[in-house]
A and B are shown apart, each in its own frame.
Chain A
């Protein structure tokens, strides 16, 4: 078995053990968003020719795939500082790239599961959109960017507290400003270039366009792919430098 598959297998075993708890936890926030913003408040609101619920579901998929792919960083943090399992992997004949790939696949798996859950919840609220290959490609690219970023940052932090800080500094602002809840065009002109720097803005755009049955532009996919390549390389470098 190649090294990346061994790393991935370990994460899958842990994921399988925690799955029911995780799915329950992952469902709470989106459910509340769907009830509060989508159902109660958004019934009469039409955005870009769609009901707010329809507008919201692809945004929530983007947010959930980002959040859950990035959460692999917290698991790595626990395996480094609590279980000390990272040392077991460091001492094994597994290359840094294999390690990053294995953890990234675990992040993608989490992103995929969380996205599926949102789609199911959306269906419960009567929202069934076009979940075509372009939609899934955007979701996977989004998960890839955030999973690799999470691996890289998990190698740089020194404690559990640092990891929690990263979530507050990166994920929360991204979730609210990356087009999940409203079109980014509604924000002032001076904020637009800044919002284009957020990977989630591009992921949301691609996911929403695909989910509405339109052909998404290639640009967000290219941006996410290029960014994913860079964050993957960054992660490999940080894993190499993780020897103290």
Chain B
């Protein structure tokens, strides 16, 4: 379980986080959704011990991240937003070093490594140098590495950023598979569809504050199911309806050009903050 209490981070006079309170339940896939600069990565960096919080506390499976830092670090695996593999080493060597850093015995690392490389479909790349892998392969290798020491929590910071649609779908399928094995997943994203597809619950983060927290369905429910985007005089306005028929009737009555579509999390975020996510 992840428990965050009154977490604050100030960077050179800027408040990146303004008092985050949060509980993520065991086995849950929790998405942290917000635009760039909202504080998503800062939260993960603090939880992973890469950044010091200005105030507040956080616990990972009961271990406080500063007072019991080494124990807390055994609880999670981290897949950061940027690639952080050793390009000069092979796929196997990268995983071996991670296992050594987590004090796993050599034989245990070898066994787990074989399983995970097949799990992320990199079994034929064991001896390949990381610098020769594609972006999608590197991302999958980072996920395998984060799972090597069998953590109960997985932090995924924008796991599909910069990947094409096909690879992104494969990463999503992999994330779902990991959750089915009981791992608690804390995921940051600014891709609406990623949060909608994957998350059990979503927190909207805006300017360092959580402005809403619920299931994707509940967050969208108040708006309705259908949206009509109406374009007029360089202005785009969305109107929301519970049924498709209502939406179509409204669209038929407008002189402006329009698009009829399903309501998504972006609409809920926009309604709450007056801002788009991406």
Contact = CB atoms under 8 A, between A and B. Distances in A.
Nearest 8 A/B pairs, CB to CB: A6-B100, A84-B84, A92-B101, A93-B73, A93-B70, A243-B52, A6-B101, A10-B97
A14 B133 CA distance: 18
Nearest to B77: A91
Given A13-B89, A88-B145, 19 more contacts: A1-B103, A1-B105, A6-B100, A14-B88, A17-B88, A83-B87, A87-B80, A88-B78, A91-B50, A91-B73, A91-B76, A92-B73, A92-B101, A93-B71, A93-B101, A93-B103, A243-B50, A243-B51, A244-B50
A36 B105 CA distance: 52
Interface in A1-41: 1-3, 5-7, 9-10, 13-14, 17-18
Contact of A91 (B49, B83, B85, B100): B49
B48 interface: yes
B98 interface: yes
Contacts of A17: 88-89
A232 B87 CA distance: 29
B97 A6 contact: yes
Interface of B: 45, 48-52, 70-71, 73-74, 76, 78, 80, 82-89, 93, 97-98, 100-103, 105-106, 145
Interface string A73-112: 0000001000111011111111100000000000000000
Nearest to A241: B52
Contacts of B80: 84, 87
Given A83-B85, A95-B70, A13 B97 contact: yes
B103 A2 contact: yes
Contacts of B97: 6, 9-10, 13
Contacts of A88: 78, 84, 98, 101, 145
A244 B48 CA distance: 12
A89 to B, nearest CB: 6
Nearest to A2: B103
Contacts of B70: 93, 95
Nearest to A3: B101
A91 B78 contact: yes
Nearest to B105: A1
B48 A3 contact: no
A93 B76 CA distance: 10
Contacts of B45: 244
B83 to A, nearest CB: 7
Contacts of B106: 1
B16 to A, nearest CB: 11
Given A83-B84, A84-B82, A95-B70, A89 B101 contact: yes
A191 B153 CA distance: 59
Nearest to B84: A84
A91 B74 CA distance: 9
A5 B100 CA distance: 8
Contacts of A10: 86, 89, 97, 100
Contacts of A6: 97, 100-101, 103
Contacts of A89: 101
Nearest to B80: A87
Contacts of B86: 10, 14, 79, 83, 85
